[in-house]
Amino acid sequence: MWGKDSVDCEYPLWGLALVRMNLGRYRESESYYRRLLALQAREYGAQSAEVAQSLGELGDVLVEDGRLNEADPLYQQALKFKLADDNTTR
């Protein structure tokens, strides 16, 4: 399936989020990461390793934007998902 909700948009969304973060355009970066997270949750599962990775990266954006209180729970959630994923792959 092609279109804005296609898994084929995953890498371009990540790239746009990364570029916006590096430009200091944190709110735009956040928006792209949130779109990416919705796509990944739908495609891989809400607690997948892919979602964990993107949650951590979104946390990085929030830290850069000075929103530490918002970043902390994202990092905690990413760690929880990653540890759960590691336990199921062993």
Angle (nearest 5°) at CA 20 between 71 and 10: 80
pLDDT tens-digit readout, 30-42: 999 999 999 999 9
Least confident of 6-10, 30-34, 79-83, 85-89: 85-89
The alpha carbon of 83 is separated from its chain's Cα centroid by a whole number of angstroms, namely 16
Q: Is the pLDDT of residue 47 over 80?
A: yes
Mean per-residue pLDDT over the chain, rounded: 91
Q: What is the pLDDT at residue 85?
A: 77
